[in-house]
Amino acid sequence: MSKRIAFLGLGTMGAPMAGHLARAGHRVTVYNRTAATAEAWLARHAGLGVALALTPAEAAQKQDAVLACVGNDRDLEEVVLGERGALAAMEPGALFVDHTTVSPALARKIADVAQARGLLALDAPVSGGQAGAENGTLSVMAGGSAEAFAAASPILDAFSARIVHIGAAGAGQAAKAVNQLCIAGTLAGLSEGLRFAQASGLDLDRVLEAISGGAAQSWQMVNRWPTMARGEFDFGFAIDWMRKDLAIALADAKAHGLPLPVADLVDGFYAEIQAAGGGRQDTSALVRHWPEIAP
C-alpha cells in the first residue's frame, strides 16, 4: 500500500534508500541540508511523485512515516528534535524511523519524546554499506515497540533483505555497535593474514580460493581480500564513519564496565590512517597499518 513518506538525509546511504521507496510507489518528500543535493535527487526521480521540503518540519507534515539517515547524534537531534525538527510537526499515530547509527541513549530519548506526542518510533540502523543501499539488500536491526516494528516493516522492505526486531528502544543501535565491533575484529585478522600471505610469497588468489571455503570465510574476506591486495579503497564504508561508530561502542561499553581491547586497538590503527589523510577510504584500508613485506 502506498504511503506518504518523508526522508531526511540524502547522503551515500539515504539517497538510494529514498529512491527505492519512490520506485516502490510511495509518495516521497525529501529533505537534505545541502539543497543542491536534494534538487539533484528530485531531478533523478522526476515522474515518481516526489517532492522537496526546505526544513525537516515541513517534510514531516501530514506524512504517514518519516525516515532519517543523517550523520551523527548531533545531526539527528537537529533534524528530529530541533527548532525546525520533524517530531513536532508529525501527526499523532505517524511513524518515525531512524536509520542513522547513533548512541542507544539518543535512540531512547527520541522514543520517549515520540511516545509523549502519540507517535511510533523505531531505531533501525542498517548494515550492508553503499552497495546494499543501492541494491536494496540492507540488513536492518530494529529497536522499539512491536507496534512500531509492524508499521515499519512493509515500508523498509523496499530497500532491505533482512529486518530483525532486536528489542526495545535503543536495542537496534546496540546491535549495530555489535555489528561494527565484529567487522573491526574481522578486518584486523584479514589484514594480518593477507600481509602474512604476501610476505610468504603465496599466490593471493589461490589462498583466497582455499580459505574462503572453510572456517575463515567471511563477507569481508570474499568481498575485500582482492581489493585490499590491489590497494583499492575508494568504495564502501569510510574510516571516518567507522571511527564514529566505534566511539559509540567504546563509550557504551565503558558505561557497562566492559573492556573492548581489540576494538580499542583497531580504532587506534584507524586513527593513524585517518591522520595520514585516509579517512574517506573504505574500512578495508586498515591493511595499510601493516607494511607490505616482500618474501
Strands 4-8 and 27-31: parallel
Residue type present at position 242: M
Write the DSSP assignment of the chain as a string of letters. ---EEEEE--STTHHHHHHHHHHTT-EEEEE-SSHHHHHHHHHHTTTSS-EE-SSHHHHHTT-SEEEE--SSHHHHHHHHHSTT-SGGGSPTT-EEEE-S---HHHHHHHHHHHHHTT-EEEE--EESHHHHHHHT-EEEEEEE-HHHHHHHHHHHTTTEEEEEEEESTTHHHHHHHHHHHHHHHHHHHHHHHHHHHHHTT--HHHHHHHHTTSTT--HHHHHHHHHHHHT--SSSSBHHHHHHHHHHHHHHHHHHT---HHHHHHHHHHHHHIIIIITTSBGGGGGGGSPP---
State yes or no: is 176 an active-site residue.
Answer: yes
Beta carbons within 8 Å of 288's beta carbon, 6+ residues apart: 233, 273, 278
Contact 105, 73 (CB under 8 A): no
Choose the catalytic residue: 3, 62, 109, 176. Answer: 176
Annotated catalytic residues are 176
